[in-house]
Amino acid sequence: MKTPFVLFILPLIFITLAFFRAQRVYSRDPTSYFFDSTTAYDRKYSLIRKKEADAFIEAVATKPFRRTIPYLPGTTRPLLCIGIPTVSRPTGDVYVRTTIGSLLAGLNSAERDQIYLVPFIAHSDPDIHPIYNETWLRNVADEILTYHKEGSELQHLKDLEKDKENREKQISDYTLVLEACIKANSEYVVTFEDDVLALDGWFHRTKAALQGVQAEVKRKNMDAFFYIRLFYTETSLGWNLESWPYYVFNSVMIGTAVVLAVLIYMNRYQKISSLSGVKRRLHYFFIAIAYTAIAIGFFFLCGRVSMFPISNGVEEMNKYACCAQGLVYNQARVPRLIEWYREKHLGYVDVLAESLGDTGTVGSRWALTPSVVQHVGTFSTKGEDKLKKGEVSVSQQRWNFAFELNDASMLKIEHEAAIRAQQPKN
C-alpha cells in the first residue's frame, strides 16, 4: 500500500464518513455542531407516557387512589410530600392533569402510601382553574391547597395575578406549597411544575437517588444536601472554561495518538536513504499534524454531552443546572429556603434557590441521571409571542433530549422488578 494513500487519502475518507455519521448520532445533542432542532424535539416516549397518564386520570374519576395511611400525628411519615402549584394558562392549555397522572400511573398502593400529594390551585378564585371542580382531583389529592385571602390581601393577590412577569406571586405560590409540605411532616419535599411528565418508575429511581446522595454525603463527610434535581436540560451543559484542563488533556491524547500512529508507520515502512527521504518524512509528519488538528476540532464539534456524558446515578451539579421542573429538597433545608424567598420577595424560584445554594450554607446540589421528568409545556404561564413556522418556544427549549429515548416496555419491567424487591420475603 503506498504511503500517500495511507497517510492522506485513507484518513480523509475516514473523516468524511465520520462527519456524515455524526450528523445522525449527535443530532440530539444540543451542545453539538450536528444538533438538528427540527428532529431533536420530537416526542417519542412522552407520547406513550401521556397516554398512560391520561388513561389513569380517566380511571380515577370513579376509583380513588389516595394515601391510605391517615394524616394524624404519630402515624408513618410520608417519604415525599409533592407540591404542585398550578394556574390556568392564557392559551387555555391544561397540562396538570397529565402531570399528576404521570406521577401516579403505575404506582402500587405501597408506593402511593409513601407520597403526600398537595396540588395548589394558585388563583384568588380557584374556580377559575379548569381542574378545580373535576372529580378526579379529589380522588387523588391528599390535600388541595387554595388561597384564603380577604380584604386588602385578596385585592393584592388579584393585582399580582395581572403581573405578566409573575415574579412576586410565583414566590408566594411556592412558599405556601413548601409550608404545606413542612406541615405534612414528610422526610423530603418535592416540587413539580404543572407542565411536566414523569416516567414510569420515577418513584423507585428517586428513592434510589436519595439513598445514593445520602451515602455520598456521608462518605465525603459533607453537610446535609440541599436538593436533588430530577430534571435538567442538556442545553446548559456545553463546553465551559472551568473544565479546560480536562478538555486539553483529552485533546492532547487524541493528538498524541494520531502522531504516534504516523511515526510508527514511518519507522516501520519508510527508510531514510537520502535527503529527499528526510523531506518526505517531514512532509508526512506535517500532514499528521494537520489531521491531528482536524481530529481535535471534530472532537469538540461532536459536543460535550456526547464526548463527556454524565454517568447514570447521582452527581453533584452545583453549576449550569436548569430549571425548577422537578426538585427533591432535604426537608431540613426547606425552612431556610422559605426564609430566603421571603427575604428576596421578588424573583424566580429556581434562580433564587440557586443563589441560596451559592452561599454555601445549605449543602450540596445534586442531579439524577437519566432525568426522570420531562418538561412538556409548549407555552409558559406568562404567555409567549406567536412563533414562526419551525421555531421552538423558550418554554419548549427546557427539554431533556435523552428522556425521549426511553423504552416504555423496559421501564415497565424495571418498575415491576423494583416493586417485587420491596415486597417482604417469605
State the sign of the Cα–Cα–Cα–Cα dihedral 52, 53, 59, 60. Answer: positive
pLDDT at site 372: 98
pLDDT at site 325: 94
Instruction: Tell me what the mean pLDDT of segment 132-150 comes to.
Output: 92
Kindly state the percentage of the chain with pLDDT values over 70. Answer: 85
Q: What span, in angstroms and rounded, lies between the C-alpha atoms of 4 and 280?
A: 10
Q: Give the least confident one: 7-11, 189-193, 302-306.
A: 7-11
Burial of 352 (0-12, 13-18, 19+ CB in 10 A): buried
Q: What is the pLDDT of residues 107-122, one digit of tens each?
A: 999 999 999 999 999 9
Instruction: Tell me what the mean pLDDT of segment 201-209 comes to.
Output: 98
Kindly state the percentage of the chain with pLDDT values over 90. Answer: 58
What pLDDT band is residue 356 in, cutting at 50, 70 and 90?
very high
What pLDDT band is residue 395 in, cutting at 50, 70 and 90?
low
Residue 240 exposure: Cα atoms within 13 Å on the Cβ side? 11
Q: Is the pLDDT of residue 228 over 90?
A: yes
pLDDT at site 180: 96
Q: What is the pLDDT of residues 22-52, one digit of tens each?
A: 999 999 999 999 999 888 999 999 999 999 9
pLDDT at site 62: 93
pLDDT at site 161: 77
Q: Which residue has the higher pLDDT, 93 or 270?
A: 93
Q: Is the pLDDT of residue 243 over 80?
A: no
The answer to whether 225 and 363 are in contact (CB under 8 A) is: yes
Q: What span, in angstroms and rounded, lies between the C-alpha atoms of 153 and 234?
A: 41
pLDDT at site 377: 75
Name, of 132-141, 149-158, 295-304, 393-402, the range with top average pLDDT: 132-141
pLDDT at site 380: 55
* Candidate CATH numbers 3.90.550.10, 3.90.1150.10, 1.10.510.10, 1.10.760.10; the one for domain 45-235+311-422: 3.90.550.10
Non-local (6+) Cβ contacts of 401 within 8 A are 28, 29, 30, 40, 234
pLDDT at site 160: 76
pLDDT at site 188: 98
pLDDT at site 216: 94
Cβ atoms < 10 Å from Cβ of 242 = 8
Q: Which residue has the higher pLDDT, 378 or 368?
A: 368
Instruction: Tell me what the mean pLDDT of segment 282-299 comes to.
Output: 79
All structural domains of the chain with their residue ranges: 3-40+239-302, 45-235+311-422
Average predicted confidence (pLDDT) for the chain: 86
Q: Give the least confident one: 62-71, 94-103, 267-276.
A: 267-276
pLDDT at site 286: 78
Q: Is the pLDDT of residue 105 over 80?
A: yes
Q: What is the pLDDT of residues 396-415, one digit of tens each?
A: 778 999 999 999 999 999 99
pLDDT at site 393: 63
